[in-house]
Structure 1
Amino acid sequence: MPKPSQTALTGLFGSSAPFVFAAAANHASEMNHVIVLNEAEDAAYFHNTLENITGALDLFYFPSSFKTRKNYRQLNASHVMLRTEALTKLASRTEGREIRKKILVTYPEALFEKVVVSKTLSENIIHIKTSETIDIGQLLLKLDEYGFVRSDFVYEPGQYALRGGIFDIYSFGNEKPYRFELFGNEVDSIRIIDPETQLSERKLLSVSIIPNVDTQFTSEERVSLFDFLPANTAIWLQDQELCEERLKDNVEELNYFLEAYPTSQFSANSDDDKLIKKDLSSNDFIDAERFLKSMESRSVLHFGGNDYGAKEEFEFNTKSQPAFNRQFELLIKDLKEKERKEYSVYIFSENPKQLQRLQTIFDDLKAELVFNPVSLSIHQGFIDDDLKVVCYTDHEIFQRYHKYKVKQAYNKNKAITLRTLRELQPGDYVTHIDHGVGVYSGLQKMDVNGKLQEAVRLIYKDKDVLYVNINSLHKIAKYTGKDGSVPKVNKLGSDVWNRLKEKTKAKVKEIAFDLIKLYAKRKAQQGFAHTPDNYMQTELEASFIYEDTPDQSKATADVKKDMESASPMDRLVCGDVGFGKTEVAIRAAFKTCIDGKQAAVLVPTTILAFQHYKTFSDRLKEFPVTVDFINRFKTAKEKRKRLKN
């Protein structure tokens, strides 16, 4: 075991630190590592970069478990899951069951919280294997003891559901829930299920059910993360002084919170009990003094630029990627200079299409540049003058927003069908695709061939009852009609609903026939065929500060294909607010302006017109296009007068 040491790594800029760490961790294969960044966002970006360049499996993002720093009782479910996952893996390492090193990326607020003792955590994990016989009653009691809540369906950590021979559990340390198929008390199979569809994804031979490590253990069963870590763990600090200051600030905020909101005055919503830390005290946290004491027995590497009196120092000669502000002449000049000095040029982008766009721009500008495209993402570009390596990122070249990705335990938008079902109240109107409009009357457990199953109960005319199995939820939907209107409830077994569907189909066919004739006439006419994209179109699209969604990319490609056709164009782009329709319109309008045409954007209100004017102006300000704002009525008085006449 190496002796504790203090080492400084200076001169690391951009995303050079994750590359240096990756090389060092690969060399010190027997060591675990904890990397402490200054901010939660910095930690997430560092984690993403490191994960992309190494593909490491035992790399964990270790966040604070609280939703905000202002409320030390309300927990974040996704963060609880990530913390639990990391601690469970580290606990297994200490018992010698795994030999791979573990890497934690974290920040001061996450270090502030104590964690459950490794031995206690290991002893409270429930292990279940296929073909194993289990005592369902004892298991249910243990799940209740661990803070799990019984529900009809599992869609967030800390829930379990028992329906006949189907037993679903959403463990706190896993991204998705497990489904156990029971044959009596024997576990017949174990599968991972999708919380959205409730369908099985793949089989497993064994699983571990992990309790909520943030609410189920007392202060006496908690230690600092550094006491939890194995002895062979190196600590990487970006800024030790800042970490100390943050811990001091956290202690002050915690004391203020405990004075303002003591446990005796605290009450939680029962639905969120498992995500509430009721018994809270200062003993659940560490202070700056304890943090510094923990560093004395560890090998510490400072990589933020300050050596902190380290006995050993390694100096690197790197610098951050220059700002080109989307001026490709400057970028080309810079890369040609690097090429002349025999630097190796790498350009990183998560989206291969961005690399193709960049190559197209270089070709159109006849730059004759050679670079190595790398289809993965790093947060910041850098130049290493010692190794003669250039690593640039596409989002910095195009000034695009780079978003980090962190695993999420669940989302309330998931499991839409189940969520809607839970929101339905007895008496709400629903529509069944085969039987028409009925009244929702709740859920009911039924014995089907000796097995207990859940069904949706619908009431129809003359108090007829229809039971819908939960596997057929896709056939029912909440009734939507005119506001305030009361629908007519259908009669089971009658042909009224079928006649209505047939009548609707006939009407749709009639409309479709008229549309076919109309579009046949349009197809026969000659339209204006736009030219293929040039480098300015490519530059505009690449400068979009967000990553295109798959639907957005497809809509853009379809619109441009229509525009380049000789037939008149007629396309409708649909999407919810904020889904990127305006960006598609901007690209189409710019494409037609490049070909010497004008583009008009018509909107229903003056405010919306001005909003679009600002958006178009901001996006096109660096291109040879003029954007004008035309308001039909100069004043409200003129508008009222015109409408009156």
Structure 2
Amino acid sequence: TDHQVFQRYHKYKVKQAFSKNKALTLKTLRELQPGDYVTHIDHGVGVYSGLQKIDANGRLQEAVRIQYKDGDLLYVNISSLHKISKYSGKEGSVPKMNKLGSDVWSKLKDKTKKQVKDIATNLIRLYAQRKAQEGFAHGPDTYMQTELEASFIYEDTPDQAKASEDVKRDMEKPSPMDRLVCGDVGFGKTEIAVRAAFKTCNDGKQAAVLVPTTILAYQHYKTFGDRLKDFPVTVDFINRFKSTKEKKETYKKLAEGKIDIIIGTHALLGKDVKFKDLGVLIIDEEQKFGVSAKEKLKELRTNVDSLTLTATPIPRTLQFSLMGARDLSIINTPPPNRQPIQTEVTTFNEDAIRDIIYYETERGGQVFFIHNRVKGLAEMKSFVQGLCPDLSIAYAHGQMEGDELEDTILDFMDKKYDVLICTNIVESGVDIPNVNTIIVNNAHQFGLSDLHQLRGRVGRSNKKAFCYLIAPPVSTLPPDSRKRLNTLEQYSDLGSGFQIAMRDLDIRGAGNLLGGEQSGFIAEIGFEMYQKILDEAIRELKRKDFRDLFREEIRQQDDYVSDTSIDTDLEILIPDYYVESITERLSLYSRLDNCETEEDLLAFHQELQDRFGPVPSQVEDLFTTVRVRKMAVELGFEKLFLKNETLKCFFVSNPDSPYFQSETFNRILEFLQTGTNKGKLKQVGKNGILVVEDIANMTELHRFISKMLKHVKKES
């Protein structure tokens, strides 16, 4: 067939295809149930107690009801849902509820903000230094680069293609690249590393690939060697399997520039490693390196392009903490014809283990048996050998002699053994497609990311893979271990690393994100709220202390208000007869509230139509509200009131704000004089209000605001 002729793999269609929306809505994690704690950015922590219909001038509206200390109630309009977030601190700890109207919350918020600002300042300063430094600007892709990419036997997944574009674009810029590529186990991050390394070799520079384990160094050496065998580059590796003499030889070649790509463990950070001309530094599984190693890395990479690959995904929300120093690419789509790994938690049972092993070997596969105690490996081997006398079994661990370990692993790759009993030395990045069952003994002693990584060692081809976690009876385990094992059982879909990382956060509590000092805050204000405060702080810093650096960015989003609240007496809600379930309604409200662009809104509208039938007028108004809110932010209004057919627009509340000297404000005044006869300005206290008569419904409001916005943007 053509696949054999062109050495390409056949592309299967998986029955239950992986849908993007399923992967990323952390909806399951975020769904609010009555009784959950929530944090409101202006009022603090309270208890969510359902949606409630409210009568506004004889028309129905829906609001979220939050209870505060001493039975105070707060009703939050559905158009300001983005101000609420679910409280997530450490699981099982009960937060202090705030009292409405007291200043405790605002003090806490300011205190957090101040602390966060100190940290954020350092991050941004680091970022500023990097941006200011001159790195090496790589040339555009050569024909060899194109050829390398074309010779990839799989088809690039969309995310992979995008990540590799991003990386190459960063390399072509004069400032040094610092990109983090986050993708689940087995989603093709190595290929991106190969392309980046090759690109730098094309420009006559060297690439260094840093990996955490000895086996992985060897494995990458083989992968890189295979991919680049038809190209004029030399690849070599350093690990402790090599004799001192061989290492010296390698270092010498490296300094003379005879080796283009070097792959190695921590040894690469040693004193005697000199590069002739290092172009790009690639770090695989950065979370496995210790602090001192990372310090050395920092020295290496001030003006070298650096690319970090990690599979234990950093929850999207933490991306922000990297925002100061990193660009992020996420690979979410699994390669075609991958199947989810079936995960089961069982107790230690000889018959079951025998059946599992035989099931796998009879379909021609091999088995990993993970037992994380070096001392007990030999006994474990004889135990398994006793269960399956006719199979060949080997064991491997990190304290074996180099050659012996290497031979064992290679023989296992060559299918000389059926079962490999080993410590978690195989954890990161070992790629043996023929192994499709992994048994983890004493799984309760591993952390979540370790288990997720181990599970990622199987299911790397198109066969169904199995992962068995052996642990004592669940009832005897401590609650944290129990939750960990359940999490893995629950999220066994492809690309579920994200959800796992989020759960990890919930189970352990979000510790110190950026340093030791502020872990206490998260417990008091909840994790998402912490993110929001962090974002605000970063924004203020960009506006004030680092104006020059972010001039471009500020010009694009020079907004004077960050949010507009809209209050109306119209019937704006999702009616009960349209969507019955309360949790579903709430989730729709918050998704609508978070739609960023017009495309998002249209897609969401389409989805509603598909799921629930023709969209009623109240819901159409809801969409209009979101559109109006976006426009009002651009125009600089803090609040819009629409009551009794009169619209009141409140300008920025701070009378000394630069907004009143801005082009936008002048344009609005001009519009009121020439473009419309409906509006007039009023002064109430210190604040200016724009009052517009005869606005009966949302459509008219939308028409008026968009006309005004058009005028403001027209000549600018």
Taking structure 1 as the reference length, the TM-score comes to 0.31
Whichever structure has more helix as a proportion of its residues is 2
Taking structure 2 as the reference length, the TM-score comes to 0.28
Largest Rg, 1 or 2: 1
